[in-house]
Amino acid sequence: MRIHILTLFPNMLSGPFSESIIKRAVDRGLVEIVIYNIRDYTSDRHHVVDDYPFGGGQGMVLKPEPISAAVESIKNEYEVSVILLTPQGRLFNQMVAEELAGYSEMILICGHYEGVDERVREHLVTDEISIGDYVLSGGELAAMVVVDAVVRQLPGALGAEEAVREDSHSSGLLEYPQYTRPRVFQGWEVPQVLLSGNHAEIARWRREQSIIRTLRRRPDLLERADLSREERMVLERMKRGEE
Ligand SMILES: C[S@@+](CC[C@H](N)C(=O)[O-])C[C@H]1O[C@@H](n2cnc3c(N)ncnc32)[C@H](O)[C@@H]1O
C-alpha cells in the first residue's frame, strides 16, 4: 500500500510515522508513506498557498491550483483514491479503516485555515473523511489517525493477527478487560478464571465480558455485532435485567 499525504506542515507528520507499529510496517515494506508539501506545487514567486475568501469573511482558504498540481503529479504515476480530510466528511470508524486497508494507493489531503477551495472537493476528491464531530486546526492529526488505524489492519503489521481480530470494534464489540502481572496489586486481584489455565473457560469469560461491556458502554454497537442466536437471547435477558 502507498499513502500520499498532502500538507502545508510536513514536519508535523514525520514523528508519528517513524515510531512503533507504523515504522515497523514501513520497514517491512507493507506500506510506503510519502509526504508532499503543498507549497512545493505553487508556481508563483512567493509560493502562495492561500487567499481571502470570495464574498468576504474571516480566515484564509487554500487555493485550488497547488493542491490540483500535487494530486495530478501523483495521479500521473498511480491510480489513486483522493481523500479530503474534513469535518464535513463521512465519519471515520473501524469499518472505514478496514475498507481503506483494501486500497493499494490513496492520497490524503490535509486542509488548514478555513479549509480548501470547494472546487477541490467537487472535481478532484473521490471521498471525504471526518475523524469526529469537532473541528481541528488542520488535517494533519486526522491523517495520522487514519493512517494509524489503516496500517494496523495490514496483514503482518502487528505481531499476532489475533490482536486485530479481538480489538474493540473489529468484531462489532468492545474488547474484554485485559490484565497482566502482578496477580494482586494493592489488594486488587486479577479475575480467577484468567489464572485457571482453562482456555475454553477463559474464552467464554472474555466473550461474555465483551458483550456485557458493550451493552453497558456502547449499546448502539450491539445492533451490528456478530452474535450467535444464544448470545442474542442472553443479551435480551440482560437488557430486561434478568441476568
Ligand atoms: C479549521 S478546519 C476548517 C473547517 C471548515 N471551515 C468547516 O467548517 O468545515 C481546517 C482543516 O482541518 C481539517 N479538519 C478539521 N476538523 C477535522 C475533522 N473533524 N476531521 C478531519 N479533518 C478535519 C480539515 O482538513 C480542514 O480543512
CB 210 within 8 A of CB 173: yes
Q: Which domain holds residue 127?
A: 2-151
**Structure confidence at residue 164 (pLDDT):** 66
Lowest mean pLDDT among 66-80, 143-157, 185-199, 229-243: 229-243
Q: Which residues of 24-40 are buried (b: 16+ CB within 10 A; e: fewer)?
A: ebbeeeebebebbbbee
Report the separation in Å between the CA atom of 134 and the middle of ligand 1, taken as the mean of its atom positions.
8
pLDDT one-digit tens code per residue, 53-108: 999 999 999 999 999 999 999 998 888 999 999 999 999 999 999 999 999 999 99
Q: What is the pTM of this model?
A: 0.94
More confident residue, 168 or 60: 60
| CATH label of the domain that carries residue 203 | 1.10.1270.20
| CATH label of the domain that carries residue 75 | 3.40.1280.10
The secondary structure of 129-155 as a DSSP string is EESSSS--SBSHHHHHHHHHHHHTTST
Are 8 and 103 part of one and the same domain? yes
114 carries an active-site annotation: yes
Are 113 and 207 part of one and the same domain? no
Whether the predicted pLDDT of 133 surpasses 90: yes
List CB contacts of 163: < 8 A, sequence separation 6 or more: none
pLDDT one-digit tens code per residue, 185-210: 999 999 999 999 999 999 999 999 99
Whether 163 is in a domain gets the answer: no
152 carries an active-site annotation: yes
Are 190 and 92 part of one and the same domain? no
* Cβ < 6 A, ligand 1 pocket: 85-88, 110-112, 114-116, 130-132, 134-139, 142
Are 98 and 196 part of one and the same domain? no
Which residues partner with 189 through β-bridges? 184
